[in-house]
Amino acid sequence: QSVLTQPPSVSGTPGQRVTISCSGSASNIGSNVVNWYHQLPGTAPKLLMNKDDQRPSGVPDRFFGSRSGTSASLVINGLQSEDEADYYCAAWDDNLNGLVFGAGTKLTVL
Amino acid sequence: QVTLRESGPALVRPTQTLTLTCSFSGFSLTTDQMCVIWARQPPGKALEWLALVDWDDEKHYSSSLKTRLTISKATSKNQVVLRMTNIDPADSGMYYCARMKWRFSVIDSWGQGTLVTVSS
């Protein structure tokens, strides 16, 4: 069971907005930044959002990240078919003294 | 350009020790804030962080696996080695190495992964 809780799946139609939540605790999200990764089928994960809300170069501005208290969110505006992937949140956990990943959320574009 | 590549056996027998090597280029593991991590992903399941070695040779391990894991770096070779003892079929999956920057724990480059199957 993952330390960070994500919905197993979300879906939307092209053009819609979807939100993926990531819930943790004081020792991880409550104390440290959250990074988001996405993973297309059969490929390695890739950094999507870092330090809560910073988009790496090349990530469209349709993607927004935020963190508040012990939760974080990833918002995707103007959903596109190529956004269909698995999305993972991650953060350092001070109690475990290690990195923790969420269980992942599968985004389906209908 | 940062690249990482995992190598190791595709098939391992139960109870054996798995040894995986991460060969990287484009950065130095002696540079401040640089780390290499290992993570794994069973088929159809979530990512799981395993271990980390940092620029100062500090090591961190998953609390659930730390008795079975050893991570080490060969700085001169630009390699990081992960050993996992007492392998079980539940350890089957894709194993990734990646570069992580310590401050903010940002994993900014991943290897393509190596698939390990544990079976007798």
- A79-108 pLDDT, tens per residue? 999 999 999 999 999 999 999 999 999 999
Q: What is the pLDDT of residue A106?
A: 98
- Give the mean pLDDT of B48-71: 97
Distance from the Cα of B63 to chain A's closest Cα (Å) equals 7
Query: Would you say A97 and A2 are in contact if contact means Cβ atoms under 8 Å apart?
Result: no
**B43, two tokens:** 């088929």
A-interface mutation test, from B58, B62, B105, most A Cβ less than 10 A away? B105
Query: What distance, in Å, lies between the first and last C-alpha atoms of chain A?
Result: 28
| Average pLDDT score over chain B | 96
Residue A1 in this model has a pLDDT that exceeds 80: no
Q: What is the pLDDT of residue B75?
A: 75
Query: Would you say A8 and A105 are in contact if contact means Cβ atoms under 8 Å apart?
Result: yes
- A25-50 pLDDT, tens per residue? 999 999 999 999 999 999 999 999 99
Task: From chain B, pick out residues whose CB is under 8 angstroms from the CB of A100.
Answer: 49
Flag if A98 and B111 touch (Cβ within 8 Å).
no
Query: Which residues in A have their CB inside 8 Å of a CB on B?
Result: 2, 32-33, 35, 37, 39, 43-47, 50-51, 56, 88, 90-92, 96-104
Q: Which of A98, A101, A103 lies closest to B60 in CB terms? A: A98
Q: What is the pLDDT of residue B20?
A: 98
